[in-house]
C-alpha cells in the first residue's frame, strides 16, 4: 500500500498541550489524519495522510441514515526507554475486519491497517503525551459514504484514522465504580450486532447510561436480552468476577464485544494458574456472592481504563458492596502487570508490544 503524505503547514499546526496540562478524553485531536477510499469493483485506493479537518459527505450518505459504521480504539504511548509503542494492534485490526464482515463493509488487510497506523503515529509522534499514564488515543473508523436512501450495503466507503492525546484514566488513584444493574433496556441481543464494534450499539446504550448517571451511578451492568438473567458487559467494558477463587467472565456467545483487554486478562490469569471460566453468570449469583463474600472482586476491562474495579452493584433497589467497596488484589495485580508490560517495565512474554520505530 502506497501512502501519500500532505503535511499540515507549520502555521496551521494546532496548539499541543503542555506537559502537566490536564487532558480529558477525546476532545483534542492531532495535526493529521489517515484517509482511504473504497469503491465496489475497484477496491481500496488513495491511501493518504492529510491535515486533520472536516470531511464532506452528501446528506444522503448511507451512514447518516442507516448507521453502517464500525470503529476501533487503541493507544500509542512512550515506553520507559523512549520507544513509541502500540499494544496488540493486530488484534484490533483483525476485529475491525470481523466487524466489517458483520456490517457489510469491506475488509482491509491487517498489514495495511498496521502500516496506516504506524505512518500516522510516526508523523504525529510529538502529540503523544509523556506524562505518566497519558497516551495518544487512536480511533480507526469506517463509514458508508454512497449517496442514496435505498437500503443496501454501500458501494462507497471511507476508512479514516484520527488520533488525539488523552490523560491518565485514574488521575486520583484506582477508584472503584458504582454500578446499576439495568433491567429495562438491553445493549444487544444474540443474532444482533453486539459483537461488532459499531456505533449503533453505543447509540442504543445512551439512555440507560444517562438514567443511571441521574441516579448517581457511574455505569450500568447489561443483562441478556432474552431473560434479563445473565450478565453481559459493564458499560462499554467486558466484565470479570472473582467467584469462590475462580475468575469468571461471560462467554463470547454473540452479543458480547470480544475485548482485546478481556483476552489479555484471560491469558495472564491462566499463566498465573488462577482457575478461569468463560461461562454464563447469573445476576442472582453475583448479588448473592457480593452479599455473602464469595464474590471477592468484580472489575471491567477495556482499552481506556485497562482495569476498572467495581465497588458495588445495585439491583432492584438493593445495593451490595464488593470487597467492602475497595479495589481487589487481583484487579490491582492485573492493572500493574498490563501497564507494566505496556511501558516496558515487565518483560513482554507474549509479543504484545509493537514498536512504531
Instruction: Report the 10 Å Cβ neighbour count for 325.
Output: 12
Cell numbers linked to 70: 464500525
Min dist CB 265 to ligand PLP, Å, is 9
Residues 41-100 that bind ligand PLP (CB under 6 A): 73
Q: How far is the CB of 332 from ligand PLP (least distance, A)?
A: 18
**Interaction of residue 237 with ligand PLP, rule CB under 6 A:** yes
Answer yes or no whether residue 232 interacts with ligand PLP by CB under 6 A: no
By CB under 6 A, residue 238 contacts ligand PLP: yes
Judge contact between 128 and 82, C-beta under 8 A: no
Q: Does residue 306 belong to the site contacting ligand PLP (CB under 6 A)?
A: no
Q: Is 176 in the site for ligand PLP (CB under 6 A)?
A: no
Near ligand PLP by CB under 6 A: residue from 30, 97, 145, 236: 236
Among 68, 145, 261, 323, binds ligand PLP (CB under 6 A): 261
Q: Does 145 bind ligand PLP (CB under 6 A)?
A: no
Nearer to ligand PLP, 70 or 157 (CB): 70
Cell of 167: 490523560
Q: Which of 107, 233, 297, 337 binds ligand PLP (CB under 6 A)?
A: 233
Nearer Cβ to ligand PLP, position 38 or 77?
77
Cell numbers describing residue 161: 484514522
Question: Which lies closer to ligand PLP via its Cβ, residue 158 or residue 266?
Answer: 266
Determine the interface stretch with ligand PLP among 109-117, 260-268, 338-346, 348-356 (rule: CB under 6 A): 260-268
Is 113 a binder of ligand PLP (CB under 6 A)? no
Q: Which residue's CB is nearer to ligand PLP, number 74 or number 330?
A: 74
Q: How far apart are CA 156 and CA 45, in angstroms?
A: 11
Closer CB to ligand PLP, residue 84 or residue 260? Answer: 260
Applying CB under 6 A, does 219 fall inside the site for ligand PLP? no
Number of chain positions touching ligand PLP (CB under 6 A): 14
Q: Is 119 in the site for ligand PLP (CB under 6 A)?
A: no
- Determine the Cα angle at 343 with ends 342 and 346, to 5°: 80
166 binds ligand PLP (CB under 6 A): no
The CA distance from 72 to 303, in Å, is 10
* 239: β partners: 300
User: For ligand PLP, which residue of 145, 303, 308, 323 counts as binding (CB under 6 A)?
Assistant: 303
Provide the minimum distance between the beta carbon of 262 and ligand PLP in the complex, in angstroms, as a whole number: 6
Q: How far is the CB of 284 from ligand PLP (least distance, A)?
A: 23
* 135 scored as a contact of ligand PLP (CB under 6 A): no
* Residue 197 interacting with ligand PLP (CB under 6 A): yes
Give the Cβ contact number of residue 33 at 10 Å: 21
CB 311 within 8 A of CB 320: no
Q: How far is the CB of 237 from ligand PLP (least distance, A)?
A: 5
The single residue among 196, 257, 287, 338 that binds ligand PLP, judged by CB under 6 A, is: 257
C-beta of residue 109 within 8 angstroms of C-beta of residue 159? no
- Please report, as ranges, the residues that interact with ligand PLP according to CB under 6 A: 73, 197, 233, 236-238, 257, 259-262, 301-303
Amino acid at each position: 500500500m502506497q501512502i501519500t503524505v500532505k503535511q499540515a503547514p507549520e502555521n496551521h499546526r494546532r496548539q499541543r498541550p503542555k506537559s502537566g496540562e490536564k487532558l480529558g478524553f477525546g476532545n483534542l485531536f492531532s495535526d493529521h489524519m489517515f484517509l482511504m477510499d473504497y469503491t465496489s469493483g475497484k477496491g481500496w485506493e488513495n491511501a493518504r495522510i492529510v491535515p486533520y479537518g472536516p470531511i464532506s459527505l452528501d446528506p444522503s450518505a448511507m451512514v447518516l441514515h442507516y448507521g453502517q459504521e464500525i470503529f476501533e480504539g487503541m493507544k500509542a504511548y512512550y515506553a520507559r526507554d523512549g520507544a513509541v509503542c502500540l499494544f496488540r494492534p493486530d488484534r484490533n485490526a483483525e476485529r475491525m475486519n470481523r466487524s466489517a464482515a458483520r456490517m457489510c463493509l469491506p475488509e482491509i488487510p491487517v498489514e495495511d491497517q498496521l502500516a496506516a497506523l504506524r505512518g500516522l503515529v510516526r508523523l504525529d509522534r510529538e502529540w503523544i503525551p509523556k506524562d505518566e499514564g497519558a497516551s495518544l488515543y487512536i480511533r480507526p473508523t469506517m463509514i458508508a459514504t454512497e449517496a442514496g436512501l435505498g437500503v443496501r450495503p454501500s458501494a462507497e466507503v471511507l476508512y479514516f484514522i484520527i488520533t488525539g492525546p488523552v490523560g491518565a484514566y485514574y488521575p486520583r488513584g484506582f477508584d472503584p465504580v458504582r454500578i446499576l444493574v439495568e433491567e429495562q433496556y438491553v445493549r444487544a441481543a444474540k443474532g444482533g450486532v453486539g459483537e461488532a464494534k459499531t456505533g449503533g450499539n453505543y447509540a442504543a446504550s445512551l439512555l440507560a447510561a444517562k438514567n443511571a448517571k441521574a441516579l448517581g451511578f457511574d455505569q450500568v451492568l447489561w443483562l441478556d436480552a432474552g431473560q434479563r438473567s445473565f450478565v453481559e458487559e459493564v458499560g462499554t467494558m467486558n466484565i470479570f468476577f472473582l467467584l469462590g477463587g475462580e475468575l469468571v467472565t461471560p462467554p463470547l456467545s454473540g452479543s458480547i464485544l470480544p475485548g482485546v483487554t478481556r483476552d489479555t486478562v484471560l491469558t495472564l490469569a491462566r499463566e498465573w494458574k488462577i482457575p478461569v471460566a468463560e461461562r454464563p453468570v447469573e445476576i442472582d449469583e453475583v448479588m448473592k456472592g457480593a452479599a455473602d463474600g464469595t464474590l471477592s472482586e468484580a472489575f471491567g476491562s477495556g482499552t481506556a481504563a485497562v482495569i476498572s474495579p467495581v465497588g458495588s452493584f445495585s439491583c432492584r433497589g438493593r445495593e451490595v458492596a464488593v470487597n467492602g467497596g475497595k479495589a481487589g488484589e487481583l484487579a490491582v495485580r492485573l492493572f500493574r502487570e498490563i501497564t507494566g508490560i505496556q511501558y516496558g517495565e515487565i518483560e513482554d512474554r507474549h509479543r504484545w508490544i509493537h514498536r512504531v520505530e
